Chain A
Amino acid sequence: EAGVAQSPRYKIIEKRQSVAFWCNPISGHATLYWYQQILGQGPKLLIQFQNNGVVDDSQLPKDRFSAERLKGVDSTLKIQPAKLEDSAVYLCASSSDAGGNYGYTFGSGTRLTVV
């Protein structure tokens, strides 16, 4: 089966610019997650979708970050305006169950550098 697809692979932007990332989960996986992984740290959950509904966005900086999953399949994560501290790898994952308790499948991530 195809894995979780993410694009772009790398992105360099200047601070205060906007950027968008795209994710296509494994077919049939209802649950989709966006994680932020800052260099040297573990991934931190930004937002979790169940189909096209948000389950948890408590750690999403809503003043600058937004995410949507309109048709319950692929998803986009946007940052506007970007700050230097947003430099990180943004990982998308999907799971077949609501809690990810059978494990996640991760994409390769988008490495964002804000200069």
Chain B
Amino acid sequence: VQLQESGPGVVKPSETLSLTCGVSGFPISGGYYWGWVRQPPGKGLEWIGSIYQSGNTHYNSSLRSRVTISVDTPKNQFSLKLSSMIAADTAVYYCARHLHSPDMGRTYFDYWGQGILVTVSS
């Protein structure tokens, strides 16, 4: 399973960030969630949200108002949109395969992309 993030390295304040995660070696419809995690420079990991093959999504409550995650099954990829970007959104953004089973209270990320640094700057 391999994941690869793509998108702009610089975004202007107030603009919307758009990132895509291409998945290879495993069908995106294969029964997992697919998630986004970010890490500001020198800081810890923060979950942004995740999407299931059906389009069902779960978002971090602190970002919910600004986040949209979508899935493109034919292209085997999923995407992140984060609106109203500010300097504090500067981070490395990772996509990952996510075993997320709310019914059983289970969650973990087993395969990760290499990450993409997104800087918010005018």
Same complex for A and B? Answer no
Q: A-contacting residues of B (Cβ < 8 Å)?
A: none
Q: B-contacting residues of A (Cβ < 8 Å)?
A: none
